[in-house]
Amino acid sequence: MMHENINIFDTTLRDGEQTPGVLITSNEKLKIAHKLDELGVDVIEAGSAITSKDEQESIKLITENNLNAEICSFARPLQIDIDTAIECNVDSINIVIPSSDLHIEFKLKKTRKEVEQMAIDAVEYAKDHGLIVELSCEDATRTSVDDLKSLYTKTIDAGADRICACDTVGILTPEKSYNFYHELSKLDTPLSVHCHNDFGLAVANTLEALNAGATQAHLTINGLGERAGNAALEEVVMALESLYNVHTHIKTELFYETSQLVESISGVVLQSNKSIVGANAFAHESGIHADGVLKKSETYEPIKPEVVGHRRRFILGKHVGKHVIHEKIKETNTDVTDDELNQIFMRIKALSDMGKTVTDVDLQAITDDILNIDIDESIHLDEYTTVSGNRVTPTASVKLKLNDEDKIEAAVGVGPVDAAIAAIQKTLQNTVDITLEEYHVDAITGGTDALIDVLIKLKCDDKIITARSTQPDIIMASVDAYLKGANKILTDKKRK
């Protein structure tokens, strides 16, 4: 039976950073740690202190900030690892030791008796130095339960406060997970579950382990982690809260912004249909679905988007219905007759049938055209210049006319597009707060002179605006799409 209070052990900064290609700086780790603490996780595994001097500085930076969460360091069962963690002033240590015959024989090249003694010595040493100790068995799910129980019993006797069984290569099924963790829960010591997602079952296996008696879950934001990742924190917690009626300490309304922060810093882009925090998690295109949601959100949404800090979106695609179009038009304080709505609907359908993504800017243009509204755009591009090369820091300057006032700014970036957008953002910073949420580029035709299609999403307040531009020049297409979206945002503000 599931415990009433489940602890959340976040390992985004340790196991999550082991995602191929991910490197998180000290200041970025601190930002994420602050957000995780605000989110309400019980334990933050801040890294592995022995890894490097930079890692030690990162962990120290976090421990110096007196967060509410328990701050933990990963360690091998070696005195040098534990001493290094102690120097970082952590509260606890996650001692990880291989337990399967495969790992003991081929990785450690030791006997099981030697490995057990290493674990006992490490636990005793850490406890003697005042640390909370969690003993994690690596590759536990390919270890016999008898061998695991023997190792856990000896390390519990040595002082281990918690034990953890790791499904290191994600081979459990939900049924096996329940039986496996139920057997380990009989040791009557706080038990953690740590699941990898190699077969896409990490969340399901974690939930079954908790259902079987585990009391703490090792998780990462967005499911980051080695290979296919770890169990996603936001998915496990929302399943616990919504499906199992088990309360955690997590402030779920912070999930979306936490996910966005980790996505931005890690550089690992979320798939749009990612549950809970993905762009399409609360997006609707189908006319039938959208109509139902507008009348009663529960018809096609299991939870309200506000519960996880997300927002509902209606997509203008080939399946869109008139109700959605009318709703989006009303958002701009524009009134249309039934005949005008029908004309707008037919124009959008025609664009969709041509295989085009219909953006918010397209909808406004179509609506204004049918209503004979002349738009006085707030932003006009006079000129832009970019400089880039293998020995030159990408730099851009822009000259805009913003509400009839000349604005000139310059910025640097990781590339010419990034620099150009950064320069535009500087010109707008005292007028409107716009965040670039998504940037997507496609080459429509072949060759180096291909037409480039840029689709972007801009966020202002709690609203997301989509815009696009098709040009032969990727920088111009990017600048044009951004300015179209910014103009749409400013136009909406004027109309309101």
151-165, 316-330, 459-473: least confidently modelled range = 316-330
Predicted pLDDT of residue 293: 74
Mean of the per-residue pLDDT values for the chain? 92
473 pLDDT tier (thresholds 50, 70, 90)? very high
The string of pLDDT tens digits covering residues 225-278 is: 999 999 999 999 999 999 999 989 899 999 999 999 999 999 998 998 999 999
Predicted pLDDT of residue 287: 61
Q: What percent of the chain has pLDDT over 70?
A: 98
Please tell me the distance from the alpha carbon of residue 223 to that of residue 236, in angstroms, as a whole number.
10
**Helix (H), strand (E), coil (C) string for 273-311:** CCCCCCCCCCEECCHHHHHHHHHCHHHCCCCCHHHHCCC
Predicted pLDDT of residue 220: 98
Distance from chain centroid for Cα 58: 21
99-113, 197-211, 279-293, 451-465: least confidently modelled range = 279-293
* Greatest mean pLDDT among 203-207, 309-313, 365-369: 203-207
Torsion sign, CA atoms 245, 247, 251, 257: negative
Bridge partner residues of 232 (DSSP)? 220
Averaged pLDDT, 152-178 = 98
327 pLDDT tier (thresholds 50, 70, 90)? confident
The string of pLDDT tens digits covering residues 285-320 is: 766 676 677 778 788 899 999 999 998 877 777 777
Report the residue count for the chain. Answer: 496
Bridge partner residues of 398 (DSSP)? 384, 409
Averaged pLDDT, 98-108 = 94
Q: Are residues 382 and 374 in contact, defined by beta-carbon separation less than 8 angstroms?
A: no
Both structure tokens of 127? 């406890």
Predicted pLDDT of residue 3: 86
Predicted pLDDT of residue 14: 97
Predicted pLDDT of residue 461: 85
Torsion sign, CA atoms 468, 266, 460, 479: negative
